[in-house]
Amino acid sequence: AIQMTQSPSSLSASVGDRVTITCRASQGIKKDLGWYQQKPGKAPKLLTYTTSSLESGVASRFSGSGSGTDFTLTISSLQPEDFATYYCLQDYNFPYTFGQGTKLEIK
Amino acid sequence: EVQLVESGGGLVQPGRSLRLSCAASGFTFDDYAMHWVRQAPGKGLEWVSGISWNSGTKGYADSVTGRFTISRDNAKNSLYLQMNSLRTEDTALYYCAKDSAIGRYGGISDWGQGILVIVSS
């Protein structure tokens, strides 16, 4: 199975900050990666797919980049509603695998 | 609007079986692959299983291979997960999820609210 190593596991930041979260795949996955946001008690929400495509309705401050084994999610200017846990998911092949998650907290 | 409603969860003893169901609406069910994803209390997301639009291909996480079986009934717009030989480590919130791509596997675009499975004696 492909392993997805996500970092950092937690992050403290302030409103207005630029934040970057990374995922590294144990083997090449082309661009078959998505990013998800999860708030406590809620189902995950898709942010980006195929590495850099923004899901409809998602704020443009979210962006994804990368290819092969290294991927990033960037939030250009943190808003109060962005404090949540973020996960990457490789959908290159079965079994799909998630990163361990990044908890984004208010500094 | 996509709606995915899970049912069939509950408390079950180790070694026993349970069958989860997911009723789908708001989209053409037989156009899309479907998935199950779980989340143990206080832990991260774990993909469990996926099935193609026509049930032609299926996949499983290593942790459930040989114990869980995914299936679907396109006539009933329903997805299922048969869970056998349950273990305490299978305790989790189980999400039904819709694939993002038509006619092939892609990522996961939509999620149900989840159903809790507790495996305990």
Interface test mutation site (partner B, options A39, A47, A51, A96, max chain B beta carbons within 10 A): A96
CA-based nearest residue to A89, from A48, A41, A28, A39: A48
* A86–B contact, CB cutoff 8 A: no
Nearest CB to A95; choose among B47, B109, B111: B47
User: Least CA distance to B94: which residue of chain A?
Assistant: A43
- Distance, in Å, from the CA atom of A33 to the CA atom of A46, rounded to the nearest integer, reads 11
pLDDT digits (tens, 9 = 90+) for A1-50: 999 999 999 999 999 999 999 999 999 999 999 999 999 999 999 999 99
SS3 of chain A: the string is: CCCEEEECCEEEECCCCCEEEEEEECCCCCCCEEEEEECCCCCCEEEEECCCEECCCCCCCEEEEEECCEEEEEECCCCHHHCCEEEEEECCCCCCEECCCEEEEEC
Give the gap in angstroms from C-alpha B62 to the nearest C-alpha of chain A: 8
Q: Which residues on A lie below 8 Å from B46 (Cβ)? A: 98
Which of the four pLDDT bands, split at 50, 70 and 90, describes residue B87?
A: very high
Q: Quote the CA–CA distance of B80 and B94 in Å, as a whole number.
A: 11
Specify whether the CB–CB gap between B49 and B58 falls below 8 A. yes
Q: State whether A46 and B108 contact (CB < 8 Å).
A: yes
Q: Give per-residue pLDDT as tens, B33-70.
A: 999 999 999 999 999 999 999 999 999 999 999 999 99
- Tens digit of pLDDT for each residue in A51-99? 999 999 999 999 999 999 999 999 999 999 999 999 999 999 999 999 9
Residue B119 in this model has a pLDDT that exceeds 90? yes
pLDDT at residue B104, as a whole number: 86
d(CA B121, nearest CA chain A) in Å: 26
